[in-house]
Amino acid sequence: MGASIDFLQYLDDKMELGDVDLREYSPLVLAYIGDDVYDLIIRTMLVKKSNIQVQKLHRKASAIVKAPAQAELIKKIYPLLTEEEEHVYKRGRNAKSYTKAKNASTVDYRKATGLEALIGYLYLKKDVKRIIDLIHAGLYGDGQKSAEDNK
């Protein structure tokens, strides 16, 4: 096996990206990157759990990443969010988007956008562990405490 690296730090260093002030990002930009991070985590989880046909993997992933499923996930993890995370989620949820997801209500779409903004925020903050912990709690209901409770 290859040596483990800090992916995000290596990406920053190699591509000369530098630090960012996350407060300057619009919630829709955070949701833009958060959508792909969430998708990558779900797809990675599915691929590593079962080596099945791509078509079946896609169907399973789509069921988890669609807006109604994300709205359900945020409902489960909302009590676990720190004050800072809750603020980022609400900014994403309340952002004025000019698009609407297919096959999703406006309420579910806004909640999903909030979740994606939160994931994007945590990703750019380089807190991948927190993202995975929250997704795990939402998918498996493990009763995880918030980050503030763990301090």
Catalytically active residues are 35
147-151: long-range contacts, CB 8 A cutoff, minimum separation 24: 147/82, 147/85, 148/82, 148/83
Q: How far is CA 9 from the centre of its chain?
A: 19
Q: Which tokens go with 141?
A: 């209901």
Find out whether 134 and 44 touch, Cβ atoms under 8 Å: no
Among candidate residues 72, 65, 77, 139, the one with its CA nearest the CA of residue 102 = 65
